[in-house]
Structure 1
Amino acid sequence: METVLGFDFGLKRIGVAVGNTLIQQAQPLMVIREATNDGKFAAIASLLEQWRPARCIVGLPLHPDGVEHEMTLRCRRFANQLQGRFGIPVELVDERYSSAVITARRGETIDDQAAAIILQQYFDQHVES
């Protein structure tokens, strides 16, 4: 069994979810709202220390037709920074429509729940039962 953290990266907020490969169920964990990159990575360092995940999953936003855009590049950079700073494996998961699913349900985007959808997509597509 491995613990896995999922991230919904945004410029203002980063949604975080947690799950494990045994039950393969993602749960919203928290939203990081630090104003600076140093603050964001300090919060992430604390989460990594607490949860000790085997890997991290980062949502990769794409246009509906699969074309990359500015936030795609920022998310790739964030994923590279996670792996480089903390030495933990990071995988990217197509997050098209994850925030839209939450928006349709709640009327607003909830970042930690979007992270849970991203992480659940990873479990559904990549983890063997």
Structure 2
Amino acid sequence: MRLDRLAPTDVEALLVVLRDKGLAESSIRNVFAVLSQALDVAVRDRLLARNPASAVKRPRVAASEAVHLDVTQVGSLLDAANGMRYVDALRLIAATGLRRGEALGLSWGDVEVKPLEVV
């Protein structure tokens, strides 16, 4: 589709297609954000008179409560991961409550791994 023919209804139709394909709401929101930014650049470069995505309501992501594993589930996870490449990272996460990205941002030289004691 040519940029000058892109309408807000086309953007909305894209969002519907993404929902129908089963994409998570957060992914749909990210697609919308990237598209909107790209269209802003097109407006800046005078390829478009206006951004059609600006007339579309930004997709909302419903807040949800994080799901946490209980002690038994953590033990089962660590038992299943025993001998795998990332078992030490899982132990660190279980023992400290770090998020995955925080744990992966560490260098192994920064971490002293000790056996996990389940209370």
The alignment's TM-score, normalised by the length of structure 1, stands at 0.26
| Larger relative contact order, structure 1 or 2 (CA cutoff 8 Å, min sep 6) | 1
Bigger fraction of residues in strand: 1
The alignment's TM-score, normalised by the length of structure 2, stands at 0.27
